[in-house]
Amino acid sequence: MTKVFRNTPYHKLEIGMEAEMHRLCVADDLYVFANNSGNLNPMHLPREDGDGDGIPEAVAPGLWVGSLISAVLGNDLPGPGTVYRSQSLCFHTRAHAGDQLVAKVKLAEKRDNREAVFDTSVHLADGTLIADGQAVVIAPEKDSSFEAIDVPGLTVQKHVHFDVMLEQAEPLDPIPTAVVAPEEANSLGGALLALEHTLIRPILIGDKDKILAASKELGKDINGVELIHEPNHREAAARGVALVNEGQARAVMKGHLHTDELLAQVVKRDGGLRTNRRLSHVFVMDVPGLNNLLMVTDAAINIAPDLETKVSIIQNAIDLAISLGIEVPKVGVLSAVETVNPKMPSTLDAAILSKMAERGQIRGGIVDGPLAMDNAMNIEAARTKGIKSLVAGQAQILVPPNIESANMLAKELTFVAHAEAGGIVLGAKCPVILTSRSDDDKARLASCAIAALYAESLKK
């Protein structure tokens, strides 16, 4: 329901009139204020330690606290049409993220030229005084109201789900990882960053001179890191796969070589890492504004998957989701429409996959389709179209019909919706970490954390 604000014009104001507003201070408030004001004092940033005591302070900035008084004056008393003349504030203690605050105003005096003087204060919910002072405003001249229907919302572009995932992975023993051809700064830097966060123990395989040159460019000392000299990329990939088969590595990570060169060694019938499943790639995405991780598969390996391949794609993604803490993953099999149309093969596949999951041929998750993107992600869109489903509006895994649509969806989420994406290849004996030169540090760490959590689930 749209909120309507109504004012009290100057001639209706009476001494002693009061208004108040309750507001929970959350971490996002502090980030928004930091961006709007340019005040990047670490005392006010929720994850930073501003005074060096080892504990993040998350102190609400004084003028953010004061803005709550402004909100009462502008919304309630006198309300819409009010303009500030002055505001004094005296702070008695500090507010922090997580505090419930109460801002109050009380009319103390009416002056000429529509000036009104208010006593103002902000308290904690238990009555502790945070700040008090006095505001002088120009009260509105006539009755008016404002319907807050066109005020745009805000989405804070931070990636809290990846932060949680990294926290879960870092206490685990680092997984020994064959890093194939980390021969330039980006690919080597990703492996060393994951080493610093205790996610992996890299075994570097490639041209020794190029790897040392990359470490020098990064300013990193790799003397304590195992390095196997193999300048030929095909042989380096084969050596990485062999380390897994020998039990010396539990993951493989792509460096500065073509993905096809690496995967060719993974899928070899003799000496590869094949299992009874097809390989598939899963993007794990942290989309600002979503309250859960979102997975997109397969956007990198299977070009035009048939029904049998889609079964492996879905099962791989479900197993990964479970390893990341999603107890019963919800899988939306996408098409352009949400009804079965014999002229659209993707709708037939989606319906069959849903029935296969009901019969236990796909295990561990709830699968439904065909679903269009809107009703897979938005519960209101699903209700509008009369779709009754445990997946519609709350899908956690999205399965587009082919590699083109999956890749476009993942890239749109990354570059339009500001998602952070980590990705791995599943279906082999161990996770295969694929990183891109365009990945930032968070994406590289996320990919390694995903692999670490998945490898841990394989142990169990």
CATH of the domain at 22: 3.10.129.10
pLDDT at 245 over 90: yes
Residue 48 lies in a domain: yes
Last-in-domain residue among 147, 181, 208:
147
Q: Dihedral angle at the C-alpha atoms of 386, 387, 390, 394, nearest 10 degrees?
A: -90
- Least confident range of 139-153, 215-229, 232-246: 139-153
- Least confident range of 28-37, 63-72, 201-210, 356-365: 28-37
Q: What is the pLDDT of residue 158?
A: 65
Residue 110 lies in a domain: yes
Handedness of CA 249, 251, 256, 262 (dihedral sign): positive
What is the average pLDDT value for the chain, to the nearest integer?
91
Question: Residue 346 belongs to a domain with what CATH number?
Answer: 3.40.718.10
CA distance 216 to 254: 20
CA distance 39 to 32: 10
Residue 155 lies in a domain: no
pLDDT at 273 over 80: yes
Q: Which of 303, 257, 255 is nearest to 280 (CA)?
A: 303
Strands 18-24 and 100-110: antiparallel
Where residue 353 falls among pLDDT bands split at 50, 70, 90?
Answer: very high
Q: Which amino acid is at 318?
A: I
Residue 266 lies in a domain: no
Residue 161 lies in a domain: no
Residue 291 belongs to what domain range?
275-427
Last-in-domain residue among 107, 127, 147:
147
Where residue 438 falls among pLDDT bands split at 50, 70, 90?
Answer: low
Last-in-domain residue among 147, 173, 205:
147
Residue 214 lies in a domain: no
CA distance 346 to 403: 13
Strands 83-87 and 129-138: antiparallel
Q: What percent of the chain has pLDDT over 90?
A: 69
Q: What is the pLDDT of residue 155?
A: 67
Q: What is the pLDDT of residue 225?
A: 93
Q: What is the pLDDT of residue 2?
A: 66
Residue 204 lies in a domain: no
Q: What is the pLDDT of residue 1?
A: 55
pLDDT at 233 over 60: yes
Where residue 72 falls among pLDDT bands split at 50, 70, 90?
Answer: very high
- The pTM of the whole model exceeds 0.85: no
Where residue 167 falls among pLDDT bands split at 50, 70, 90?
Answer: confident
Q: What is the pLDDT of residue 177?
A: 95
pLDDT at 156 over 70: no
pLDDT at 396 over 70: yes
Residue 412 lies in a domain: yes
Where residue 406 falls among pLDDT bands split at 50, 70, 90?
Answer: very high
Q: Report how many domains make up the chain.
A: 2
